[in-house]
Amino acid sequence: HCVGKRIVRCSAAEDTKVIDGVAPSRLEAALVGRTIAAARRKGKNLWLVLDSPPSPSFQFGMAGAIYIKGVELSKYKRSAVSPTEEWPSKYSKLFVELDDGLEFSFTDKRRFAKIRLLDNPEAVPPISELGPDALCEPMQLDDFVQSFGRKNAPIKSLLLDQSFMSGIGNWMADEVLYQARIHPMQTSSKISKEKCKALHRCIKEVIEKSVEVGADSNEFPENWIFHSREKKPGKAFVDGKKIDFVTVGGRVSCRLSSPYYAFLFCALCFFGLAVLCSDSRCFFVQTSAYVPELQILDGADAAAANRSKKGRDKAEENVGKTSKKGQKAAPKEGGKTAQKTSVDEEEEEDDKPAKQRAKGAKGPPKKAGNTRADDHEEGGDEDEEAKPAKRGRKRPAKGPSKKEGCPSDNEDSLGKEETVVAAKRPQRKKR
């Protein structure tokens, strides 16, 4: 639609987050009057080759898209602009008008996209860091097999690594692995040569079919896992076989160059959606759909999966035992509380005789610490001496101690020989 036409008008948004490394006014001046010689793409990046450098490059991010007024570009996402809609959109980051009246706009609602002005886009990052394009630069079978033999990462992570092979996303990686009957957690270097050949063939078939139908998912074959991979676990089936889900990481080729992306990736790490590697790259956690009945782990990977499963089961058992112990420990705490309450009650009972004496109560004073004084008479002094007090400890009274054979002056001296001191209430620990 645009190749061979000259740019007559251009408008760039004042958004330094999307317009990267160049002022909007300079971007407009560099494009007006130039002719579009070609449109190029590698992986998920696109750039326009002008009759003279520099050239604008577009990194789409999550929601970036190009809209051409009056033209429907693809079925993958809504690309047609209705006459009733605002044009250009309020989310437009770059608006271009060509000499024949055709207009196109690059929009991005989430502002994750990037627009750059580069002399040679293929020679600088991020395009220079990309691996061969899965559609336009397919790897030869021998090179494909050898490259997989040198990688120890899970096969799903390797397919998502744009520095290894560019252009394959999450759903397409699940599809090619299902068609090749390879488990997403299978180590790349441990895949047999026959399965590598099947994977090489399935990548070509899935991509070509997707492009042939204009990325219209309604035209995808019915036996593709694509149609059921978004369903909930337990309700997803393909050809009558159950679809299961597993978490696999996928490494991206872009570095955390700006504070904004660093903050974003830290938030993803906090919620368990990404892991930050030692070389300042981000390791995204992706959910993979696969069919356990057809995609089976082989060799050492299967043994490692069994060990990890046993470890998870053992950890769950330990957690269950710990929770049961916590439930059993609860009554003990209640017992301690009850014991403390009984101590308080006994102390209150020990204070009652003093109050009675203060009021002038008749009768001999009751010994402190003897909770059964109400049930005994005065003649029970011998029994009282034989039985120690329940609480408190005995301290010797001041004066001469009582020895064997020494007669006592009177019966009151018995009460003076020993004094019962009430135990102090235990202090609670300060928080």
Question: Mean pLDDT lowest for which of 79-83, 124-128, 209-213?
Answer: 79-83
144 and 196 Cβ atoms separated by less than 8 Å: yes
pLDDT tens for each residue of 92-118 = 999 999 999 999 999 998 999 999 999
Burial 338-362 (b: 16+ CB within 10 A, else e): eeeeeeeebeeebeebeeeeeeeee
Which helix (H) or strand (E) covers residue 202, if one does?
helix 193-212
Largest CA distance in the chain: 134
Q: What residue segments make up the domains of the chain, in order of their start?
A: 5-129, 141-261
Rounded to an integer, what distance in angstroms lies between the CA atom of residue 325 and that of residue 327? 5
Fold annotation for 5-129: N-terminal domain of MutM-like DNA repair proteins (3.20.190)
Is domain 141-261 annotated with CATH 1.10.8.50? yes
Least confidently predicted of 113-117, 132-136, 319-323, 361-365 = 361-365
Amino acid 416: pLDDT: 46
- Average pLDDT score, the chain: 77
pLDDT of res. 247:
86
Please state, in angstroms and rounded to a whole number, the distance separating the CA atoms of residues 176 and 155.
Answer: 11
- Compare 398 and 105 and report the one with higher pLDDT: 105
pLDDT of residue 264: 62
* Separation CA 117–CA 371 (nearest Å): 95
pLDDT digits (tens, 9 = 90+) for 267-304: 655 555 554 443 344 455 678 999 999 999 987 677 66
Q: What would the pLDDT profile of 51-104 be if each residue is shown by its tens digit?
A: 999 999 999 888 888 999 988 877 666 666 666 788 999 999 999 999 999 999
pLDDT at residue 40 greater than cutoff 70: yes
Percent of residues in the chain assigned helix, strand, coil, to nearest 5: 35, 20, 40
Nearest to 20 by CA among 163, 126, 120: 126
Give the pTM: 0.64
DSSP assignment string, 205-254: HHHHHHHHTTT-GGGS-TT-GGGTTTSPTTS-EETTEE-EEEEEEEEEEE
Residue 415 DSSP class: H
